[in-house]
């Protein structure tokens, strides 16, 4: 699987976790040069508190376009150290 935004490959992995229609990429498969920390957090009632990254490619920012669970609930434990994408980030095989 690949995560692509603004014609750049943000992540590549054949070991994503598919949950609720989202591919979660192992953190080591994500090109961190495109990620900037965001202050945004949201709460999922069963996965826990999500934190976000902004994605920046060639000076263009996509706010809160990636999320992860720093301390997922026991039910979502496999998502530890994985990142998912949205907001126009294309996920393709």
Q: Could you tell me what percentage of the chain is helix, strand and coil, using 3-state DSSP and rounding each to the nearest 5?
A: 15, 60, 30
Neighbours of 55 (CB within 10 A): 26
Residue range(s) defining the domain that contains residue 67? 2-92
Instruction: Taking residues 43-54, report their average pLDDT.
Output: 97
Q: Count how many domains the chain has.
A: 1
User: For 2-48, what is each residue's pLDDT tens digit?
Assistant: 999 999 999 999 999 999 999 999 999 999 999 999 999 999 999 99
The pLDDT of residue 62 is 98
Q: DSSP readout, the chain?
A: -EEEETTEEEEE-S--EEETTEEEEEGGGB-GGGEEEEEEEEEETTTEEEEEEEEEETTEEEEEEEEE-SS--GGGGGGTTEEEE-TT-EEE-
CATH value at residue 21: 2.170.150.40
């Amino acid at each position: 699987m690949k995560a692509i935004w603004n014609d750049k490959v943000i992540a590549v992995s054949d070991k994503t976790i598919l949950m609720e229609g989202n591919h979660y990429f192992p953190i080591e498969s994500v090109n961190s040069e495109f990620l900037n920390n965001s202050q945004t957090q949201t709460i999922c009632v069963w996965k826990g508190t999500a934190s976000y990254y902004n994605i920046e490619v060639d000076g263009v920012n996509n706010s809160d376009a990636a999320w992860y669970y720093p301390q997922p609930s026991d039910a979502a434990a496999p998502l530890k150290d994985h990142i998912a994408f949205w907001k126009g980030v294309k996920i393709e095989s």
